[in-house]
Structure 1
């Protein structure tokens, strides 16, 4: 189990109950072990962050990024966050909300290929 700030438990529950349209769309493809039999978690606290989706077996975090992520401040915050998560051995895959909404099959394919490479013992 990865370390996390226990004060983020309630905010993560709140986020699960108020997911964006893009997060809902991607979650419909990740839930119930649809990708290689892998378990994904949504709005998961890790360290001092709440990540959109997390798969421990593939050591991957998946983020759906809205417009705030493309400002100078947002890009810098994401860079720091990604580097911090990388220190735990996690890879962050980022997709903008528009990409998730318009090209969900391509997004799922990228996630599938990454997970296939990172967790060779999973179901194929």
Structure 2
């Protein structure tokens, strides 16, 4: 079982209500109706991940510009390391990926989920 920090519940609820435009697009136009359950703004250990597919043990992150400075990259690297300890795979997309190549992002997510479920 993957632990979660219960003190982060209010923050996770706030993030669910205030998704970025790119997170909102990915959620409402693809992930919400995906045939395998995907959760938004899920707490895993002491982190809140953008999207989580428990069945595939997959974390999907949508990264804004702050993820690409040195502090953001170091934080993301540490976070990914912790998540991987639980057997989770983390895939990341930039806001630009969502805006400019939405169908490619959706295809990639589908491929990774199917692969992780053994449905290649």
Work out the CA distance in 2 between the residues paired with 1:120 and 1:40. 17
Partner of residue 36, structure 2:
38
Work out the CA distance in 1 between the residues paired with 2:17 and 2:111. 29
Count of residues paired in the alignment: 119
**TM-score normalised over the length of structure 1:** 0.92
**TM-score normalised over the length of structure 2:** 0.95
Partner of residue 80, structure 1:
78
SS in 1 for 2:72: helix
Aligned Cα root-mean-square deviation (Å): 1.3
Residue 120 (structure 1) shift:
2.9
| Gaps in structure 2 of 5+ consecutive residues | none
Residue 64 (structure 1) shift:
0.3
Per-residue CA deviation, residues 53-91 of structure 1 (Å, 9 max, x unaligned), is 000000000000000000000000000000000000000
Work out the CA distance in 1 between the residues paired with 2:70 and 2:118. 37
Per-residue CA deviation, residues 19-38 of structure 1 (Å, 9 max, x unaligned), is 00000011021013x2xx21
SS in 1 for 2:2: coil
| Gaps in structure 1 of 5+ consecutive residues | none
Extract structure 1 runs of 4+ deviating beyond 2 A.
Answer: none
Partner of residue 15, structure 1:
15
Question: Within 5 A, what are the aligned runs for 1:87-102?
Answer: 87-102=85-100
Taking CA–CA contacts closer than 8 Å with sequence separation of 6 or more, which of the two structures ends up with the larger relative contact order?
A: 1
